[in-house]
Structure 1
Amino acid sequence: MSLGKQSQPHSQSSSPMLFSLQGSLLTLAIFTLLSFIYFSLNSVHFSSSPTIHISADTNEQFSDIYHSPEVFRLNFAEMEAKFKVYIYPDGDPKTYYQTPRKLTGKYASEGYFFQNIRESRFRTDDPDQAHLFFIPISCHKMRGKNTTYDEMTVIVRDYVESLIFKYPYWNRTLGADHFFVTCHDVGVRATEGFPLLVKNSIRVVCSPSYDVGFIPHKDVALPQVLQPFALPAGGNDVENRTTLGFWAGHRNSKIRVILARVWENDTELYILNNRINRAEGNLLYQKKFYNTKFCICPGGSQVNSARITDSIHYGCIPVILSNYYDLPFNDILDWRKFAVILTEKDVYNLKQSLKDIPYSEFLTLHKNLVKVQQHFQWNSPPVKYDAFHMVMYDLWLRHHVIKY
């Protein structure tokens, strides 16, 4: 009897403990289920985020042309959503601040950028929202007025110093969040006499050479594009490409002189020591890109050459023949996946180097080349993933290193 009386209260006290344990397990189960649903929905949302539609290919097929395709996709989307640039409104419109005088020829990239930045979503009229500040110096426009380089330097210096005096933004970072854009050698020569601008601000230039003070982690290599292109883009046309290699141009650099001297009489490489005479036929130079596998791109008076973007447009694999060239979008694109990179000393073994490339590798290079064509095309208004957006992305990457 005494044992029975003791067991009854023990049974009553264990029931609340049991219910408490069951409640905890039920709570844990509900929490686990809700967590699963949450992360599943997040996963669906992530996978449905915008993807890069370079072509009809899948991600696996085009990802090789980027160093980090997923990082590029995510960062590009963030840039589109957040990036803001303030354009200084001051200055003599006859000298700068307006779009350069034409959007053609070797200065086309500069002109298109000036026009594109004003048409784009990235522009803000509120400097307090800006990540970067654009100094709209068109040295090309000054050149069109027969202004000397010394006179240009004075104009640029006076203009930038007036911005420093009038606005508080330069002094916050000593110009590290400011940038200017110039193509070919005009803007480089006009600004090199103003070290405060060259050393502190971001230079977006077509001449990314060490001998003009180019700093890869600070400055941006601007692709030099001769638009409009005379003929349509080259595509899936490898069967028509029967010439091994091609170059024609002025011998205005040591490497070009050597290239012409060593290979101008070769039967497999079509090398001319001057430009193709237009009198021989219409657009013969451009048409030669269509039937050539590899187009040789040696540096000229500067390390850069518009021949590289011509090669990309016409589907001829560019052969970069340079000891140093910080190639456009080099931190985004893996150039070795769609181009051949050689040093100047390789010129003596050029033909064998090209012949040693297996046909299967040539096909892969050509396929990848077609995928990057849109990155080297300017449009008005700008189009997603075109040259303008790639330059803006490079600027977006650089603004992250600036701290107030």
Structure 2
Amino acid sequence: MQAKKRYLVLFSAGACLLLLFCFGSIQVQLSKRRLILRDARTHQPGARWSRSPGVVQSFSDWDQDISDDANGHISPRQKRDATPDSFSAQRCRMESCFDFSLCERNGFKVYLYPQQKGEKMSESYQNILSSIEGSRFFTPDPGQACLFVLSLDTLDRDQLSPQYVHNLKAKVQSLPLWNDGKNHIIFNLYSGTWPDYTEDLGFDIGLAMLAKASISTENFRPRFDVSIPLFSKEHPRTGGQRGYLKHNTIPPFRKYMLVFKGKRYLTGIGSDTRNALYHVHNAEDMVLLTTCKHGKDWQKHKDARCDKDNAEYDKYDYREMLYNSTFCLVPRGRRLGSFRFLEALQAGCVPVMLSNGWELPFSEIIDWNTAAVIGDERLLLQVPSTVRSIHPDTILSLRQHTQFLWEAYFNSVEKIVLTTMEIIQDRVLHHASRSNLMWNSLPGGLFALPQYSTYLGDFPFYYAKLGITTYPKFTAVIHLVTPLVSQSQPVMKLLAAVAKSQYCAQVIFVWNCDKSLPAKHRWPVTSVPVIVIEGERKVISSRFLPYDTIPTDAVLSLDEDTVLSTTEVEFAFTVWQSFPDRIIGYPARSHFWDSNKQRWGYTSKWTNDYSMVLTGAAIYHKYYHYLYSTYLPAILKTMVDQMSNCEDILMNFLVSSVTKLPPIKVTQKKQYKETMMAQSSRASRWADPDHFAQRQTCMNKFANWFGTMPLVHSQMRLDPVLFKDQVSILRKKYRDIERV
């Protein structure tokens, strides 16, 4: 009986082994068949760089169709799109790893941990923290915060780097607000170390978001992490230089077609593409240079090409190549990202991306097909024919878009940080997030605030793109700081002239006077509604508040002692309708660089040149009231209020920084200041000897905060005799201007 049982057990075991063997053979055959089919698909003649007419896309989209590799592994794209439950915290999304309730009470506010004594911090990380602290998102109260940023430097997690912070795991875990990283964001530029350069940061990030350079598509968590560019320690904190396309826009082709100059890695990760660049280099229009001279032991790995490559490398100046090439190759380095990326954008050199698996910077919001050629490292030899086949019109469009993206999101640490914050805010306030058009067209998402509106037609920048015409009326906002004592005061004459305009919808008086409001019967009766708003006393910025009582697109901003005729008002408004994103007005001023004092100067001298139009008599879009109140920091507005001066200069700084364009002066009203002084019942502030000294100070304070001088000089003046229509018609229509 026992023998029968033993035979039965042996027979069952044998049957199981036979089944397993057969099933395994079937699986192997299926894997081979999948591999054969995949190879046939990927090596067919049609598997080339794909481009639609006028739009440059990836070299090849066929890698998206490959679901399994030769060993049957899940592809990076499949992993990336997997559900959060499948991969736990590594697959975090906002819905699963972020506490939205922290943002509901106080909006999107960011808290910085206080810096711990004795902890070293790189200049780059200090710049990141300073950018957050100086932004409108910052709060010193963790109880009001929606997002938390560590004071521990996490930028360089290469263990061989002198900037590497040791024992970071224990330090992070000991933070009282850490909460396993929930609602935290960690900034990182370098991860991993020689020889494999993995993306491991050396500590458990828990449920925290990553703002990381060189992040791979495989490790990137869509709509949770943020891919940022790799930037050097010399990258400016604020301001940043403008792009270089303005110096060389036409023709679209430059001296070189494609250039690269950089290290050639002789061994290890990142060496494949750079070692093969010599196949494309022709020393004529394709100049791709590499050098072996880097690292301590490069001589040990020196190959037969090194001497020739090094000699060729030394012949060319990198900056000269960069600014004189149509395309710039951006291959991967040891890590996926490269400094060459930002350098190409600034130079207006169209980047040709060769870094497989790199999640491009700010990929969530930026359509990189409009500014770059995105390629596959395996198709390096197709680069020359591809870039030569791109139409000149497309090249010019690509180069222009590199300049927009550089200036909108990349030319300073502050822009990179603020873009990161705004992306996360759009996720948190999804109902009020920016559209793709806002992010990818001038002036960019940082100036198109969705809290103001999510309708593109409410922003002056998109009127032309959308074919929108302006509302055919304006609202006059008159700033009052002196009491009403007589019906013959200049402000009463101004009110009468403005109210007579056919384009005037209403008049708003902002009452900033120490005296109480006059009785209703003291105000003159006009054909348009007159609204009096009692502003906060001595708060001169209250004239630029985004009042709900302004129903029109256009705001005619006026000082109480301004002298304008109805005809002048109407002509200025007519001009504004053609330039709704600019300041249009009469009194012009200019800035200059004082080389002796090494500072910016302010002048009211009558010249052909100007860079500001004062808001004592100017028309602009009401959105700038919202930007002035929301975008600018409290420190600048407080300075303006304390001085009771410079608010007009600050508004010009703001509008020029948005548009990158000068204001527009209308007519030649030279005696603006003198006329006001002669007709005003009070001593004009223009007669104050401290007035210009204060304005000089303001100019430099503002330039310091903006990080650059945004004002743009112009010599254009629009005169009614020459504007738009035939001279004879305009002389009849605006004849009174000639008599002023």
Residues 1:323 and 1:278: Cα distance change in structure 2 (over 3 Å)? closer
- Could you list the per-position Cα deviations for residues 333-371 of structure 1 after superposition, in whole angstroms to 9, with x for gaps in the alignment? 111101111111221111001011011110111121221
- State yes or no: 1:215 paired with 2:254: no
Shift, 1:262, TM fit: 1.6
Deviates more, 1:299-308 or 1:114-123: 114-123
Letter in 2 for 1:193: G
Which residues of structure 1 form unaligned runs of 5+? 1-77, 103-107
Aligned to 2:210: 203
Q: In the aligned structure 1, how far is the partner of 2:424 from the partner of 2:210?
A: 10
Residues 1:360 and 1:190: Cα distance change in structure 2 (over 3 Å)? closer
Residues 1:134 and 1:262: Cα distance change in structure 2 (over 3 Å)? same
Aligned to 1:342: 375
Deviates more, 1:118-127 or 1:270-279: 270-279
Aligned to 2:169: 157
Counting only pairs closer than 5 Å after superposition, residues 261-276 of structure 1 correspond to structure 2 as 261-265=278-282, 267-274=284-291
Is the CA contact 2:155–2:187 (under 8 Å) kept in the aligned structure 1? no
Which residues of structure 2 form unaligned runs of 5+? 1-102, 294-309, 431-740
Aligned to 1:245: 258
Letter in 1 for 2:404: K
Residues 1:194 and 1:146: Cα distance change in structure 2 (over 3 Å)? closer
Q: In the aligned structure 2, how far is the partner of 1:146 from the partner of 1:341?
A: 31
Q: Which one of 371, 393, 398 corresponds to residue 422 of structure 2? A: 393
Letter in 1 for 2:411: Q
- State yes or no: 1:378 paired with 2:412: yes
Letter in 2 for 1:323: N
Bigger relative contact order, structure 1 or 2 (CA pairs below 8 A, ≥6 apart): 1
- Could you list the per-position Cα deviations for residues 152-191 of structure 1 after superposition, in whole angstroms to 9, with x for gaps in the alignment? 2xx211111111xx33xx43xx423111112123699796
Count of residue pairs brought into register by the alignment? 294
DSSP 3-state at the match of 1:271: strand
Counting only pairs closer than 5 Å after superposition, residues 5-404 of structure 1 correspond to structure 2 as 82-89=107-114, 91-96=116-121, 100=122, 102=123, 108=124, 110-139=125-154, 152=166, 155-163=167-175, 166-167=176-177, 170-171=178-179, 174-185=180-191, 192-195=201-204, 197=205, 199-210=206-217, 213-226=219-232, 227-228=234-235, 233-236=243-246, 237-238=248-249, 239=251, 241-252=254-265, 253-265=270-282, 267-274=284-291, 284-374=317-407, 375-378=409-412, 382=414, 386-399=415-428
Larger Rg: 2
Q: In the aligned structure 1, how far is the partner of 2:160 from the partner of 2:273?
A: 32
Q: In the aligned structure 1, how far is the partner of 2:235 from the partner of 2:203?
A: 33
Letter in 2 for 1:89: P
Q: In the aligned structure 2, how far is the partner of 1:139 from the partner of 1:178?
A: 13
Q: In the aligned structure 2, how far is the partner of 1:142 from the partner of 1:303?
A: 15
Q: In the aligned structure 1, how far is the partner of 2:340 from the partner of 2:362?
A: 16
Residues 1:277 and 1:140: Cα distance change in structure 2 (over 3 Å)? farther
Letter in 1 for 2:375: L
Residues 1:134 and 1:257: Cα distance change in structure 2 (over 3 Å)? same
Letter in 2 for 1:117: I
TM-score, normalised via structure 2 length? 0.36
DSSP 3-state at the match of 1:123: coil
Letter in 1 for 2:258: G
Aligned to 2:37: none
Shift, 1:139, TM fit: 4.0
DSSP 3-state at the match of 1:294: strand
Aligned to 2:584: none
Answer 1 or 2: which has greater helix percent: 1
Residues 1:135 and 1:278: Cα distance change in structure 2 (over 3 Å)? farther
Is the CA contact 1:246–1:270 (under 8 Å) kept in the aligned structure 2? yes
TM-score, normalised via structure 1 length? 0.64
DSSP 3-state at the match of 1:249: strand
Shift, 1:215, TM fit: 2.5
Is the CA contact 1:95–1:141 (under 8 Å) kept in the aligned structure 2? no
Aligned to 2:39: none
Residues 1:89 and 1:189: Cα distance change in structure 2 (over 3 Å)? farther
Letter in 2 for 1:136: S
Is the CA contact 1:235–1:370 (under 8 Å) kept in the aligned structure 2? yes
Deviates more, 1:250-259 or 1:184-193: 184-193
Residues 1:91 and 1:111: Cα distance change in structure 2 (over 3 Å)? closer
Aligned to 2:673: none
Cα root mean square deviation, aligned: 3.5
Q: In the aligned structure 2, how far is the partner of 1:399 from the partner of 1:217?
A: 11
Is the CA contact 1:264–1:273 (under 8 Å) kept in the aligned structure 2? no
Q: In the aligned structure 2, how far is the partner of 1:145 from the partner of 1:342?
A: 32
Shift, 1:394, TM fit: 2.3
